[in-house]
């Protein structure tokens, strides 16, 4: 299999985005995998972490029709899917004006996803699962490649959980750590001075929606038989962690594994492609254990040809630095309990716990995770 499409996607989209957005390489790679697999990605994190801007720039870099909307409790279906055509209505025909709306988009970004009310929710379930929008006697077949959504909270009721379930990939976007702040400010100022998207409009070789669909077809032709045994074991272990990886979702993850192989220019999947399993969590406390589990499975499988770069653990973690962060959190909670922003402190401790899962020394890892758990329990 030629790696030309994957190479083009890297050169014209992902590499440029990584150069512009400090500390966001991981989420950029996930956006690309979602697009190649034709699946959906949910971004969880506070406002101001460039979630919508990343997706918008990726859509611009690959020349896709793009739709973006901020949902509120009062949003109506017409705001996403288009209003009724009044002229046709006078003729007794119910028709929807979809120009510029979600039914014509190839990429869609829905901010504050869980503000969706029941009217929007019912439509979104069909759109995300079947790529179909129905209104009365109308049926619109949608060109949607991938939908991306964001929220600073996770779903609590069953109706919203069904919507969350449609997003096969989940990623927690954190505020960048303090050492990266100078680089963030420099890169952010460069973006403010030059609003031009990562893709260049006069680049004849830029990736298009048609190219992404061709890559998706290549993914369907990838041979995954060599990893099915390891993957079946992984599914069982992921479920043991409490992740609700249903049979339907487990089958869909194979699309991500195949897309990872395509991004590496391979026609055959190998164990390195199992890295995508790190992002199927339901709750944030599963992120660290899930990452450790997947890395262990990949390491045990041994060296693989042309491994995906994401197969490596995300970072080398300094156990002493994490211990210092947790000590600071404990002091803040003990010395100034009434003055502490508990939500912010909880985010800091949870982020430290996530990184602690990557500490290589088992005793240090257990100690840090236990200490973080104790602080989180105090925070409620």
Q: Which CATH number is 140's domain given? A: 3.40.50.300
**Does any domain span residue 282?**
yes
Same domain, 37 and 112: yes
Supply the mean pLDDT for the chain: 87
pLDDT in tens, 205-218: 678 999 999 999 99
For residue 3, what pLDDT band results from cuts at 50, 70 and 90? low
Determine the Cα–Cα distance for residues 176 and 185; give it in Å rounded to an integer: 11
**Does any domain span residue 206?**
no
Domain count, the chain: 3
Same domain, 259 and 180: no
Which residue carries 């609590």 as its tokens? 156
**Does any domain span residue 155?**
yes
Same domain, 306 and 325: no
% pLDDT > 70, the chain: 89
Residue closest to 80 by CA, chosen among 53, 48, 54, 116? 116
For residue 376, what pLDDT band results from cuts at 50, 70 and 90? confident
Which residue carries 């995954």 as its tokens? 224
Contacts of 23 (CB under 8 A, 6+ apart): 176, 177, 180, 183, 184
pLDDT in tens, 217-254: 999 999 999 999 999 999 999 999 999 999 999 999 99
- So what's the pLDDT on residue 266? 94
Same domain, 304 and 338: no
End residue of a domain, out of 262, 278, 311: 311
- So what's the pLDDT on residue 270? 96
- So what's the pLDDT on residue 320? 83
End residue of a domain, out of 311, 332, 355: 311
**Does any domain span residue 300?**
yes
Q: Are 94 and 88 in contact (CB under 8 A)?
A: yes
pTM of the model: 0.82
Q: Are 55 and 97 in contact (CB under 8 A)?
A: no
- Which three-class secondary structure state does DSSP give residue 201? coil
Same domain, 9 and 64: yes
Same domain, 179 and 256: no
Judge whether residue 65 has pLDDT over 60.
yes
For residue 257, what pLDDT band results from cuts at 50, 70 and 90? very high
Higher model confidence: residue 120 or residue 362? 120
Out of 5-14, 120-129, 266-275, 363-372, least confident range: 363-372
Which residue carries 């041994």 as its tokens? 302
Residue closest to 259 by CA, chosen among 243, 244, 274? 274
- DSSP assignment, residue 41? E
- Which three-class secondary structure state does DSSP give residue 203? coil
Determine the Cα–Cα distance for residues 123 and 127; give it in Å rounded to an integer: 6
- Cα dihedral sign, 366-346-50-181: negative
- Mean per-residue pLDDT, 265-277: 96
Same domain, 130 and 23: yes
Question: Per residue in 83-97, is it b (16+ CB within 10 Å) or e — as a string?
Answer: eeeeeeeeeeeebbb
pLDDT in tens, 26-37: 999 999 999 999
Same domain, 23 and 165: yes
End residue of a domain, out of 279, 311, 343: 311
**Does any domain span residue 340?**
yes
- So what's the pLDDT on residue 204? 61
Give the side-chain half-sphere CA count within 13 A for 110: 29
- Mean per-residue pLDDT, 46-69: 91
Same domain, 248 and 181: no
Q: What is the DSSP string of 64-116?
A: --EEEEE--TT--HHHHH--B-HHHHHTT---B--TTSGGG-SEEEEETGGG-
Number of Cβ within 10 Å of residue 55's Cβ equals 26
- So what's the pLDDT on residue 185? 72
Same domain, 262 and 234: yes
**Does any domain span residue 211?**
no
Domain residues for 97?
4-193
Same domain, 56 and 146: yes
Q: Are 27 and 150 in contact (CB under 8 A)?
A: no
HEC string of 315-357?
A: CCCCHHHHHHHHHHHHHHHHHCCCCCCHHHHHHHHHHHHHHHC
Q: Are 185 and 176 in contact (CB under 8 A)?
A: no
- So what's the pLDDT on residue 44? 95
Burial class (CB in 10 A: 0-12, 13-18, 19+), 40: buried
Same domain, 40 and 103: yes
């Amino acid at each position: 299999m030629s790696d030309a499409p994957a190479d083009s996607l890297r050169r014209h989209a992902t590499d440029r985005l990584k150069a512009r957005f400090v500390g966001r390489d991981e989420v950029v790679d996930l956006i690309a995998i979602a697009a190649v697999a034709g699946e959906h990605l949910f971004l969880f994190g506070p406002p101001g972490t460039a979630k919508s801007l990343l997706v918008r720039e990726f859509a611009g870099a690959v020349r896709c029709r793009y739709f973006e909307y901020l949902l509120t409790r009062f949003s109506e279906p017409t705001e996403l899917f288009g209003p009724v055509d009044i002229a046709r209505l006078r003729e007794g025909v119910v028709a929807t004006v979809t120009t510029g709306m979600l039914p014509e988009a190839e990429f869609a970004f829905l901010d504050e996803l869980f503000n969706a009310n029941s009217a929007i929710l019912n439509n979104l379930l069909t759109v995300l699962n079947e790529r179909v929008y129905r209104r009365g006697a109308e049926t619109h077949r949608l060109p949607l490649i991938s939908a991306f959504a964001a929220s600073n909270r996770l779903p609590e009721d069953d109706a919203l959980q069904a919507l969350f379930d449609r997003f096969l990939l989940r990623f927690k976007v954190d505020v960048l750590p303090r050492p990266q702040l100078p680089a963030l400010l420099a890169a952010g100022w460069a973006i403010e001075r030059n609003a031009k998207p990562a893709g260049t409009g006069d680049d004849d070789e830029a990736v298009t929606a048609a190219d992404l669909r061709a890559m998706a077809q290549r993914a369907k032709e990838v041979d995954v038989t060599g990893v099915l045994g390891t993957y079946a074991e992984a599914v069982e272990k992921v479920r043991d962690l409490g992740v609700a990886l249903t049979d339907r979702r487990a089958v869909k993850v194979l699309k991500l594994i195949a897309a990872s192989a395509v991004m590496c220019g391979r026609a055959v999947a190998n164990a390195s492609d199992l890295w995508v399993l790190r992002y199927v969590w339901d709750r944030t406390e599963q992120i660290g254990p899930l990452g450790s589990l997947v890395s262990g499975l990949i390491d045990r499988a041994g060296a693989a040809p042309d491994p995906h770069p994401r197969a490596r653990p995300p970072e080398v973690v300094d156990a002493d630095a994490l211990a210092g962060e947790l000590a600071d959190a404990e002091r803040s909670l003990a010395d100034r309990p009434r003055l502490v922003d508990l939500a912010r402190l909880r985010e800091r401790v949870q982020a430290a716990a996530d990184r602690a899962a990557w500490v290589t020394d088992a005793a240090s890892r257990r100690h840090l995770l236990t200490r973080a758990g104790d602080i989180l329990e105090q925070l409620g």
